[in-house]
Amino acid sequence: MQLPLSLFTRRTTLLSAALLAASTLLPLPASAADEPKRGGTLVIGSTQTPRHLNGAVQSGIATALPSTQIFASPLRFDDKWNPQPYLAESWKLADDGKSLTLKLRKDAVFHDGKPVTSADVAFSIMAIKANHPFTTMLGPVEKVETPDAYTAIIRMSVPHPAIVLAMSPALCPILPKHIYGDGQDLKNHSRNTTDVIGSGPFRVTEFKPAQRIVLERFDKFFLPGKPYLDKIIVNVTPDMASLVLGLERGDIQMLPFATLPTDLKRFANDPRVSLTPKGYDGIGPLNWLAFNTAKKPLSDVQVRKAIATSIDKNFITKALMGGFATVSDGPLVASSPFAVPDLVRYPLDLKKAGEMLDAAGYKAGAGGERFKLTIDYLPGGDDQQKNVAEYIRGQLKKVGITVEVRASADFPAWAKRLASHDFDMSMDAVFNWGDPIIGVHRTYLSTNIKPIVWTNTQSYANPKVDELLNTAGGLIDPTQRKAYYATFQKIVTDELPIEFINQVPYHTITSKKVGNVPTTIWGPLSPLDEVYIK
């Protein structure tokens, strides 16, 4: 999809080149339609099981949903991609793009009463750089200077156009240095799960993995009168059907990241609830089939192309997903200012797929079988994951590839399998995270082949792609960046470490009793301090 020039200019400026002047914007306004009321409990349903609550060392929905309530970040963003003050009252990106100065508010405290200072910001940013799987997000950061208790200056080796967006809630939680700076491994720190301390609008009172997270209002939160809610409860279950029933009964008031077509159709006509696709622009979710390019026969690009040629993405989006999803053919969501139409595509052609496999040396045996593969899928969203995996299994059988669909008990089990590269193919939902530097580079850089989920678990390596991404990541000018990303997109859709399937049609379903439903670019992964119960 081609963006209008005016929109393209506005978006690329926001994402890449602007934000040069200090901002003094006011906090996000509450809806004028209803006067927010204080009190009440918001129960959120989720199929995602967090291993812990520290978003500084873990990506993904499961951790980000609670982490953004517990930990405050330097900035937050509205629904137009405009940065807003949060822990930082103002900020300035240097003209050369190599430093970002944050001026912190002086009244923010952690849940244990200790003040939030520039030392905490410096510690957190370097901790995220060292531990977060998004290595490109803060890759250019060399150090954080703290000339005084409320000024933090992030110094970078090269211009870094994504640095302001990287200050977002789900990407840059500020940790208390006095707790996390004790020398323990941050990824396995005991305070990631027990007595978790942040400076966000809610504090943890209960965390039972795979069951629930209970968050209560932090009365000393730095934004006056916020949060409105007394409590947030995140009910976790892999069974979406039970969450849907809970919403209908009134036991649950919010169901974010909903995609199931039957649910979307059902709730679109339910007068008791509201349904919105808004709030997922920054997340930029893509659904895809990942190939382990380090294993035969998937190390052969012709085999990967034959598999892609066996898949009908239009059938998937229209029949399996009820027309709510749109086809994806590349690594960037259509709304990205860096997305281009010049991609290599693979229209359905089973005869051609068979010929390609023959040419690659994988001729069918006596029973018609060429070889066997496994396909995994991310648990918790059957319409985007399991159903597509089963469809692909059936399609590949038609061209002589026998596929076993493997289920994982929960997210941690699936993540471990992907992280250890113990897979042939896997369905996956991966986010652009607003800027390609943050959410796209990580999947394709050969330097990011790591035993961590949502890195380059495909083991894809191309020096040209590394060069293109590394160069684009150091450019402030959006037009120059787009040229590099255009070449990158053409190469990866030709070499196909991933078969892109569709853009994930995330929706947030809420009871009509919920006010100020989060529809900023980060939606449900934003602080919910302005949400209230009517």
Spatial separation of the C-alpha atoms in residues 305 and 298, rounded to whole Å: 10
**What pairs with residue 202 in β-bridges?**
217
Residue 317 burial (C-beta neighbours within 10 Å; 0-12, 13-18, 19+): buried
Spatial separation of the C-alpha atoms in residues 528 and 259, rounded to whole Å: 21
Residue with tokens 């997922």: 280
Spatial separation of the C-alpha atoms in residues 122 and 452, rounded to whole Å: 25
Q: How many Å separate Cα 258 from the centre of its chain?
A: 15
* Identical fold, 5-279+507-533 and 285-503: no
Is 50 exceeded by the pLDDT of residue 2? Answer: no
Average pLDDT over residues 242-250: 93
**What pairs with residue 158 in β-bridges?**
none
Which tens digits make up the pLDDT trace of 301-311? Answer: 999 999 999 99
Question: For position 47, what pLDDT does the model report?
Answer: 87
Spatial separation of the C-alpha atoms in residues 227 and 38, rounded to whole Å: 8
Domain 285-503 carries which CATH code?
3.10.105.10
Q: Which two tokens stand for residue 495?
A: 């070499």
Question: For position 31, what pLDDT does the model report?
Answer: 41
Which tens digits make up the pLDDT trace of 220-232? Answer: 999 999 999 999 9
* Residue 107, number of CB atoms within 10 A of its CB: 12
Question: For position 6, what pLDDT does the model report?
Answer: 37
Question: For position 412, what pLDDT does the model report?
Answer: 85
Helix, strand or coil, per DSSP, at residue 11? helix
Lowest mean pLDDT among 70-74, 377-381, 405-409: 377-381
* Residue 114, number of CB atoms within 10 A of its CB: 15
Average pLDDT over residues 59-65: 91
Q: Which two tokens stand for residue 68?
A: 């953004």
Contacts of 23 (CB under 8 A, 6+ apart): 83, 84, 85, 90, 91
Type of residue numbered 80: K
246-267: b (≥16 Cβ within 10 Å) or e: bbeeeebbbbbbbbbbebbeeb
Which tens digits make up the pLDDT trace of 111-157? Answer: 999 999 999 999 999 999 999 988 889 999 999 999 999 999 999 99
Residue 10's pLDDT band, with cuts at 50, 70 and 90, is very low
Q: What is the pTM of this model?
A: 0.85
Is 80 exceeded by the pLDDT of residue 78? Answer: yes
Is 70 exceeded by the pLDDT of residue 20? Answer: no
Q: 176 near 114, Cβ under 8 Å?
A: yes
Specify the CATH number for 5-279+507-533; select among 3.40.50.980, 3.40.50.10330, 3.40.640.10, 3.40.190.10.
3.40.190.10
Report percent pLDDT > 70 for the chain. Answer: 94
Average pLDDT over residues 245-251: 94
Question: For position 431, what pLDDT does the model report?
Answer: 95
Domain ranges of the chain: 5-279+507-533, 285-503
Which tens digits make up the pLDDT trace of 440-479? Answer: 999 999 999 999 889 999 999 999 999 999 999 999 999 9
Question: For position 12, what pLDDT does the model report?
Answer: 47
- 502: nearest Cα among 375, 290, 305, 317: 317
Spatial separation of the C-alpha atoms in residues 307 and 301, rounded to whole Å: 10
Q: How many Cα atoms are found within 13 Å in the side-chain-facing hemisphere of 354?
A: 11
Spatial separation of the C-alpha atoms in residues 65 and 231, rounded to whole Å: 14
Contacts of 315 (CB under 8 A, 6+ apart): 391
